[in-house]
């Protein structure tokens, strides 16, 4: 059942990408429209989606029970940030930013929760919710700085731009709401959820519009192959070994490995387009890793028990 749900979610992604490709090919969305959609996604839809992800039931008893998986996730993100300093130095800056971002940002936000719940039940969903917290914080701080730090602005301006970005502001507000459990008016909560629920479709549409200008025969190359091996096999493999060494139970191990081994996050293509980086290359990484994850994720499910 869980594996079937995983395939279904992956199929949804590709169908939405194809819709975006069709919109661009038909001229329904032109270059100015693509920029408009990207700005809407980055400044409104993604922040609401982030805020929505923090609107979960929380208690200190739950936090204590989940503290270990939270620590594992935090340690993993710190390790990824340090790896990014050495792994991609041979690439041109526009591609280096994309690869660095794709290492710390997986598509776990879209695929992670339903897959972990389908395989491990309510406990898997709870663990996944906590595992994704450090990833979201690093994505919208360090990850965002990869694109906003252009070298033409001072370090102070770069930091200011990053910490006041709508996505990171959503992390601040979401963390506060989660820990305090402060109730929001029902109409406000539902508005946030409704806008946030547009995230998957809109980001996939944008990726499709970028893909329309990409030669599909160039998606498979040594760079996308190398990155896919890293994203889908090596990184989750290291996490799997670490979890086994410290004696983590099967559920916590499975959640940690699956969320680490998710395909590249779709926001990499969005930010590459928004901040004038290599959007076609980012799109190739997203599409190719998503395709290969149809094979790797079920294998990781089996290996983790």
Phi, psi of 264 (to 5 degrees): -60, 140
Please tell me the total count of domains within the chain. Answer: 1
Q: 264 forms bridges with which residues in the sheet?
A: 106
Q: Decide if pLDDT at 139 tops 70.
A: yes
The CATH number assigned to the domain holding 35 equals 1.20.1530.20
Q: What's the pTM value of the predicted model, to 2 decimals? A: 0.76
Q: Decide if pLDDT at 10 tops 70.
A: yes
Q: Decide if pLDDT at 295 tops 70.
A: yes
Q: Decide if pLDDT at 3 tops 70.
A: no
Q: Which of these, 130, 111, 140, lies nearest to 71 by C-alpha position?
A: 130
In the prediction, which pLDDT does 156 show?
67
Domain extent at residue 236 = 2-303
In the prediction, which pLDDT does 157 show?
65
Burial of 11 (0-12, 13-18, 19+ CB in 10 A): exposed
Please answer whether residues 253 and 304 qualify as being in contact, where contact means their C-beta atoms are separated by less than 8 angstroms: yes
Rounded percentage of the chain residues whose pLDDT exceeds 90: 21
Burial of 156 (0-12, 13-18, 19+ CB in 10 A): exposed
If one compares 151 and 258, the residue with the highest pLDDT of the two is 258
In the prediction, which pLDDT does 233 show?
95
Mean pLDDT over 283-288 rounds to 88
In the prediction, which pLDDT does 2 show?
59
In the prediction, which pLDDT does 114 show?
67
Q: Decide if pLDDT at 107 tops 90.
A: no
DSSP string, 77-124: HHHHHHHHHHHTTTS-HHHHHHHHHHHH-BTHHHHHHHHHHHHHHHHH
Mean pLDDT over 251-259 rounds to 90
If one compares 288 and 59, the residue with the highest pLDDT of the two is 288
């Amino acid at each position: 059942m869980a594996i079937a749900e995983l395939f279904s979610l992956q199929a949804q992604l590709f169908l939405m990408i194809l819709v975006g490709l069709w919109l661009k090919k038909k001229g329904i969305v032109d270059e100015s429209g693509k920029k408009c959609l990207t700005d809407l996604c980055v400044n409104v839809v993604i922040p609401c989606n982030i805020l929505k992800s923090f609107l979960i039931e929380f208690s200190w008893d739950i936090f204590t029970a989940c503290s270990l998986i939270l620590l594992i996730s935090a340690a993993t993100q710190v390790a990824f940030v340090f790896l990014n300093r050495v792994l991609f130095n041979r690439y041109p800056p526009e591609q280096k930013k994309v690869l660095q971002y794709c290492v710390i940002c997986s598509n776990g936000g879209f695929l992670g929760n339903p897959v972990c719940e389908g395989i491990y039940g309510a406990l898997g969903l709870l663990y996944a919710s906590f595992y994704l917290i450090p990833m979201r914080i690093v994505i919208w701080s360090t990850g965002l700085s990869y694109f906003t730090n252009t070298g033409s602005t001072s370090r102070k301006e770069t930091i200011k731009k990053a910490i006041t970005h709508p996505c990171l502001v959503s992390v601040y507000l979401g963390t506060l709401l989660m820990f305090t459990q402060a109730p929001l008016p029902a109409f406000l909560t539902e508005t946030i959820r409704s806008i946030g629920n547009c995230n998957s479709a809109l980001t996939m549409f944008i990726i499709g519009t970028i893909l329309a200008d990409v030669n599909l025969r160039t998606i498979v190359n040594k760079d996308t192959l190398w990155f896919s091996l890293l994203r889908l096999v090596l990184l989750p493999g290291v996490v799997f070994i670490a979890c086994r060494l410290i004696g983590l139970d099967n559920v916590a191990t499975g959640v940690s490995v699956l969320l680490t081994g998710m395909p590249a996050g779709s926001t990499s293509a969005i930010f590459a387009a928004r901040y004038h980086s290599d959007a076609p290359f980012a799109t190739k990484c997203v599409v190719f890793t998503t395709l290969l994850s149809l094979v790797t994720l079920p294998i990781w499910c089996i290996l983790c028990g």
